[in-house]
Structure 1
Amino acid sequence: MAFNIGLSGLRAATSDLNVTGNNIANAGTAGFKQSRAEFADVYAASVLGTGKNAQGSGVALGDVSQLFNQGNINYTQNALDLAINGNGFFQTSNNGEISYTRAGYFGTDRNGYIVNNFGYRLQGYGIDGNGNVQNGVVSDLQIQTSNQAPKATTEVAQKFNLNSTTKAPTNTPFDPSDPTTYTSSTSVNIYDSQGNAHVMTQYFINNSDPAATPPVTNNWTMAVLVDGRNPSNPASTDPHTTNLLFNADGSLNTAGMAAGGELNYDPATGLMNLDDWVPAVSDGGTPANWSSNGATANAGGISVDIRGSTQYSSAFAVNSISQDGYTTGQLAGLEIDDTGVIFARYTNGQSKVQGQVILANFANVQGLTPVGKTGWVQSFESGEPVVGTPRSGTLGALQAGALEDSNVELSDQLVNLIVAQRNYQANAKTIQTEDAVTQTIINLR
């Protein structure tokens, strides 16, 4: 009996050493989760059970369980390195074979798919033709590396202040090259269908004349040129013009301004529309000849929104300005937020959603089957995966440019080595003692 008990103890101590050694070996493995050997005592039993004074029969390895507590987050220089802070696993596919991992070594392959260091493709929600994330449709995440197509400008939105104390220009007629013929000006880039940038310049001319009968107040002219040319006729330098009226409190009088005109003003909305712009290019001659560059403007024209502009007794200032067109862009980099949304940044300053990383969790993570390469697969004991986006439900957040370190605590493991070694020696001593006792019996005469 003592031989078998001691032998079971040796086996148990060996298993403990193996588990501890594996933990130590993977102390530097990203996403690794340490294991522990769990032992149980053994008693001989018959059909009717054991006696109340039964002697033990040794020890058995009950289970080797993994501890899925959080590892430290270690920041790297790779934007596609991902760490999970909280619950969940990355879902990867190896030609359709699904596995789960906490190791976030990711990059792109030659086809733009996001893959880990073993070539397994990261799973997530892709995008449709309009760039919207397709929630619930799990697929291989792929980065579109092609150039971003240009977009023609459809809207220009501005808020500015015209100085009410400025005097009307003394020199007429309007000449964009002569600052004495206008009061102030501002410019913004607009884009045609091919992504060519053009400069739309607005000139503001104060028409106020308190000495007139009746007095003219709060009245301005806005002249618009594109690339210094007439928007609809590049051969001409005559601007498109419209009158701007302001109320006594300095706010823009959108209802009182005349409808239509060269900028197609709509009093009902307070918006103007540059709907006859012809994108042009110069031949570089002296004098220069301007003609259509072969591109087109937005089919619906360019909405010009100056609502919110004012005429106060302060210096001319453009408080805000924006337009929604852009030129073509090349992929410059990737960013992933803490909810897993992947953004592609382009050289034209634009960004585009490329997809969203998903995470999977299980009712019993201890039931997952380890398959090596810091991965696990689903088993009957683990249950079905619960899939969602990071930060949803009980799933953790993503940290881009970082990796989760192994959760192995080396000091604990080194102490475990000492304990396992002592246990091995003690059980070997049990066998040695039983051998001595047996030898004594054999030597009886």
Structure 2
Amino acid sequence: MSFFTSLSGLKNAQTDLQVISHNIANAETVGFKKSSVQFADLVATGSATDPRRSPGIGATVAGITQDFVLGPLEQTGRALDLAIDGDGFFALSNPISGQVSYTRNGNFRLTAAGELEDSWGNRLQAYPVDAAGDPTSTTPADVDVPITNGAGSTLANVTIDVRGTITAAYADGTTAPIGQVALAAFSAPNGLRAAGQTKWQATGDSGAAVFGNPGIGTYGKMISGALERSNVDLAEEMISLLTAQRNFQANAKAIDTATQISQTVLNLRS
């Protein structure tokens, strides 16, 4: 039994090492959120088991949770770099499948057709607005920035303010609000499914996305010209790495000791 108990410890230590390694590998990934492993003990019990004689039979992984605490905000000076100072996620729509994913990575770019997208071509979702910049709908849609205005002047630049209002400026000096960035919130963000590329997808555990306006209620404000760095603390992760390594070594030593005891018993002669 000691072999299987220590084996469960080895597997758990390996899982812990994998999660910590993943955190360290993404210490410089924009919008990344670190994860941690929770463990639970296993006990052999039954209706006829004497509770005073119940041995433990090891441990198991109870869950791997993500920490959505805000990471450091780094100034970049680039107008289309966005950071959320508070709660919420950017919503991105895949132009092929239409599937919506969510991210804290606000590194966006403007295409030649006037679309705002991330590095993988997913379209930023925003509310349509009127001439005063006020939302005219509660349903987010792809951002479409006109490359020329009604007078035929070409687009000069695009700016985004703390309310998330996207404004286009043209060569003739005129400006026009294009949309307002829509932020998504979830009742249980730990239930989101990590999809890679610092994106998450909604699940039954997370609940459906509830969209809101930046800076209103619990939704964070927009900070233009900045990005949210990974919330991984390398010093903390290195300590956790050493602890997981010691746990692995201790369980391996327990298996080695059990092997020696078994070998001694097998070698006994009458």
Q: Into which bin does the TM-score normalised by the smaller protein fall?
A: over 0.9
Per the alignment, do residues 49 and 356 of structure 1 end up closer, same or farther by CA in structure 2, a change over 3 Å counting? farther
- Corresponding position: 1:392 with 2:224: no
SS of the residue 1:124 aligns to = strand
CA contact under 8 A between 1:148 and 1:346: conserved in structure 2? no
Partner AA of 2:104 in structure 1: R
Q: CA deviation at 1:127?
A: 3.7
Q: CA deviation at 1:78?
A: 1.9
**One of 136, 139, 142 as aligned partner of 2:138:** 136
For 2:89 and 2:227, the matched residues in 1 are separated by: 13
For 2:221 and 2:211, the matched residues in 1 are separated by: 14
Per the alignment, do residues 130 and 426 of structure 1 end up closer, same or farther by CA in structure 2, a change over 3 Å counting? closer
CA contact under 8 A between 2:31 and 2:103: conserved in structure 1? yes
CA contact under 8 A between 1:44 and 1:50: conserved in structure 2? no
SS of the residue 1:137 aligns to = coil
Q: Name the TM-score, length of structure 1 as normaliser.
A: 0.58
CA contact under 8 A between 1:2 and 1:434: conserved in structure 2? yes
Per the alignment, do residues 59 and 129 of structure 1 end up closer, same or farther by CA in structure 2, a change over 3 Å counting? same
Alignment length (residue pairs): 267
Q: Deviations over 1:205-238 (max 9, x none)?
A: xxxxxxxxxxxxxxxxxxxxxxxxxxxxxxxxxx
User: Where do 1:413-424 residues align within 5 Å?
Assistant: 413-424=237-248
**One of 170, 175, 182 as aligned partner of 1:358:** 182
**One of 220, 231, 235 as aligned partner of 1:407:** 231
Per the alignment, do residues 105 and 46 of structure 1 end up closer, same or farther by CA in structure 2, a change over 3 Å counting? same
- Corresponding position: 1:53 with 2:87: no
Partner AA of 2:29 in structure 1: T
User: Where do 1:77-156 residues align within 5 Å?
Assistant: 77-95=77-95, 96-127=98-129, 133-149=135-151
Q: CA deviation at 1:331?
A: 1.9
For 1:67 and 1:131, the matched residues in 2 are separated by: 34
Q: CA deviation at 1:411?
A: 0.4
CA contact under 8 A between 1:358 and 1:388: conserved in structure 2? yes
Partner AA of 2:36 in structure 1: R
Instruction: Specify the alignment match of 2:8 in structure 1.
Output: 8
SS of the residue 2:263 aligns to = helix
Q: CA deviation at 1:422?
A: 0.5
For 1:393 and 1:130, the matched residues in 2 are separated by: 21
Q: CA deviation at 1:335?
A: 1.2
For 2:83 and 2:48, the matched residues in 1 are separated by: 54
Q: CA deviation at 1:133?
A: 3.5
Partner AA of 2:196 in structure 1: G
Q: CA deviation at 1:401?
A: 1.1
Q: CA deviation at 1:344?
A: 1.2
Q: Name the TM-score, length of structure 2 as normaliser.
A: 0.94
Per the alignment, do residues 363 and 131 of structure 1 end up closer, same or farther by CA in structure 2, a change over 3 Å counting? closer
For 1:86 and 1:106, the matched residues in 2 are separated by: 19
CA contact under 8 A between 1:148 and 1:330: conserved in structure 2? no
Per the alignment, do residues 70 and 132 of structure 1 end up closer, same or farther by CA in structure 2, a change over 3 Å counting? closer
CA contact under 8 A between 2:92 and 2:125: conserved in structure 1? yes
CA contact under 8 A between 2:154 and 2:170: conserved in structure 1? yes
Question: Where in structure 1 do 4 or more consecutive aligned residues deviate above 4 Å?
Answer: 47-50, 128-132
Instruction: Specify the alignment match of 1:64 in structure 2.
Output: 64
Instruction: Specify the alignment match of 1:331 in structure 2.
Output: 155
CA contact under 8 A between 1:20 and 1:417: conserved in structure 2? yes
Instruction: Specify the alignment match of 1:348 in structure 2.
Output: 172
Instruction: Specify the alignment match of 1:258 in structure 2.
Output: none
**Structure with the bigger percentage of helix:** 2
Q: CA deviation at 1:423?
A: 0.5
Query: Which has the larger Rg?
Result: 1
For 2:50 and 2:194, the matched residues in 1 are separated by: 37
- Corresponding position: 1:369 with 2:193: yes
CA contact under 8 A between 2:79 and 2:225: conserved in structure 1? yes
Instruction: Specify the alignment match of 1:320 in structure 2.
Output: none
Consecutive unaligned residues of structure 1, counting only runs of 5 or more, are 150-327
SS of the residue 2:10 aligns to = helix
Q: CA deviation at 1:333?
A: 1.2
Q: CA deviation at 1:145?
A: 1.0
Q: CA deviation at 1:372?
A: 0.6
Instruction: Specify the alignment match of 1:163 in structure 2.
Output: none
Q: Deviations over 1:100-135 (max 9, x none)?
A: 000111011232111001100000112468976323
For 2:83 and 2:172, the matched residues in 1 are separated by: 30
Q: Deviations over 1:260-301 (max 9, x none)?
A: xxxxxxxxxxxxxxxxxxxxxxxxxxxxxxxxxxxxxxxxxx
SS of the residue 1:105 aligns to = coil
CA contact under 8 A between 1:121 and 1:141: conserved in structure 2? yes
Partner AA of 2:137 in structure 1: N
Per the alignment, do residues 6 and 402 of structure 1 end up closer, same or farther by CA in structure 2, a change over 3 Å counting? same
- Corresponding position: 1:20 with 2:20: yes
Q: CA deviation at 1:49?
A: 6.2
For 2:34 and 2:50, the matched residues in 1 are separated by: 37
Partner AA of 1:144 in structure 2: P
For 1:331 and 1:93, the matched residues in 2 are separated by: 24
Q: CA deviation at 1:351?
A: 1.4
CA RMSD of aligned residues (A): 1.7
**One of 379, 382, 387 as aligned partner of 2:206:** 382
